[in-house]
A and B are shown apart, each in its own frame.
Chain A
Amino acid sequence: MDVELTEVRDFLASHEPFSALPREALRTLVTRLTVRYYRRGSVLCALGEQAQHLFILRSGAVDLHDNRGILIERCEEGQSLAITSLIDRAPATYSFTAHEDCLVLLLPAEVFHELCDSQPVFQQYYLRRRNKVKAGVESMHATHQGGAILRTRLREIISGDMVATESDTSVSEAVRIMAEATSSGLLLVDDGELVGIFTDHDLRVHVVASGHSLSLPVRIFMTDSPASVDVDAMAFEALLEMVSRNIDHMPVTERGRPVGLITSRDLMRLEHTNPIYLAGDIAKQKDLNSLIDVARRRGRVVQQLVAQDASADDIGRIVTAIGDQVTRRLIQLAESELGSPPVPYCWVALGSQGRFEQGPSSDQDNALVLDDAYDESEHGEYFLRFSEFVVAGLARCGYALCPGDVMASNHKWRQPLAVWRQQFRSWIFAPSSEALLGAQIFFDLRPVHGAEHLGRALQEQIATDAPGNARFLTHLASHAVARQPPLGFFRKFVVAKEGDHEKTFDIKTTGIGPIVELARVLSLARGLRQVNTMERLRAAHDAGLLNDEAAEDLADSLEFISYVRLHHQAAQLAAGQEPDNHLLPEQLNPFDRRHLRDAFQVIRKQQSALAYLHKTHLLS
Chain B
Amino acid sequence: MIRLFGDRIDQRRRREAERAGGVLADCLATPLPDRATPAGQLPILAVDFETTGLDPAQDKLLSIGFVAVNGTEIDLGTAASFVINAHAEVGQSATVHGLTDDQLAAGCPLEEAVAATVTALSGRIMLAHFADVEENFLDAACRSLFGAGLPLASIDTMMLQQKIREDNNERGSIRLWGARERWGLPVYKAHEALTDALACAELYLAQLTELGEDTPLKKLLGWSH
Q: Are B186's CB and A35's CB within 8 A? A: no
**A487 close to B (CB within 8 Å):** no
Question: Could you tell me which residues of chain B, from 107 to 124, have a CB within 8 Å of some CB in chain A?
Answer: 108, 116
Which residues of B line the A interface, CB within 8 A? 72-77, 79-83, 108, 116, 183-186, 188-189, 192, 194-195, 198, 201-202, 205-206, 208-209
CB-CB contacts below 8 Å: A1-54 with B: 1-8, 11, 30-39, 42
Shortest CB–CB separation between residue B39 and chain A, in angstroms? 12
Task: Known A2-B81, A7-B195; judge A31-B76 contact (CB<8 A).
Answer: yes
* 7 closest cross-chain pairs (CB), A and B: A37-B205, A35-B74, A39-B209, A31-B77, A33-B76, A59-B186, A34-B73
The reply to whether B195 and A6 form a contact with Cβ atoms under 8 Å apart is: yes
List residues of chain A with CB under 8 Å of any chain B CB. Answer: 1-8, 11, 30-39, 42, 58-60, 77, 100-101, 103, 106
A-B residue pair count with CB separations less than 8 angstroms: 79
Evaluate contact between A5 and B79: CB separation under 8 angstroms. yes
State whether A103 touches B185 (Cβ < 8 A): yes
- What are 22 A-B pairs at a CB distance below 8 A? A1-B116, A2-B82, A3-B79, A5-B79, A5-B198, A7-B188, A7-B189, A11-B186, A30-B76, A31-B77, A34-B74, A34-B75, A35-B76, A35-B198, A35-B202, A35-B205, A36-B72, A36-B205, A37-B72, A37-B209, A101-B206, A103-B206
- Determine the chain A residues whose CB is within 8 A of the CB of B184 once the complex forms: 59-60, 100-101, 103
Partner of B83, one of A2, A32, A103: A2
A1 touches B82 (CB 8 A): yes
Bound: A101/B186 CA distance, A: 11
Q: DSSP class of B's interface residues: helix, strand, loop or mixed?
A: mixed
Contacts of A100 in B (CB 8 A): 184
* B76 pairs with A8, CB closer than 8 A: yes
Q: Do the beta carbons of B76 and A101 come within 8 Å of each other?
A: no
Instruction: Please give, as numbers and ranges, the residues of chain B lying within 8 Å of A7 by CB-CB distance.
Output: 186, 188-189, 195, 198
B112, closest chain A residue (CB):
A1
Separation of A7 and B196 alpha carbons in the complex (Å): 10
8 Å CB contact of B206 from A2, A11, A37: A37
* A38 contact set on B, CB distance < 8 A: 209
Asked if B186 contacts A1 (CB within 8 A), the reply is no
* Nearest residue, chain B, Cβ from A31: B77
B113 CB to closest chain A CB (Å) equals 9
Contact A5 B202, CB 8 Å, known A37-B208, A101-B184, A103-B185:
no
How far apart sit A106 and B206, CA to CA, in the bound complex (Å)? 16
Residues of A within 8 A of B209 (CB): 37-39, 42, 101
Find the A residue at minimum CB distance from B74. A35
| Residues of A contacting B201 in the complex (Cβ-Cβ under 8 angstroms) | 35
User: What residue of chain B has the Cβ atom nearest to residue A58's Cβ?
Assistant: B186
Interfacial chain B residues near A11, Cβ < 8 Å: 186
Contacts of B74 in A (CB 8 A): 34-36
- Which residues of B are found within 8 Å of A37, using beta-carbon distances? 72, 183, 202, 205-206, 208-209
Q: Which of B116, B192, B201, B205 has the most CB of A within 10 A?
A: B205
Which B residues touch A36, using CB under 8 A?
Answer: 72-74, 205
Chain B residues closer than 8 Å to A60, beta-carbon distance: 184
B76–A5 touching, CB < 8 Å: yes
Nearest to B203 among chain A residues (CB) is A37
**Chain B, residue nearest A105 (CB):** B76
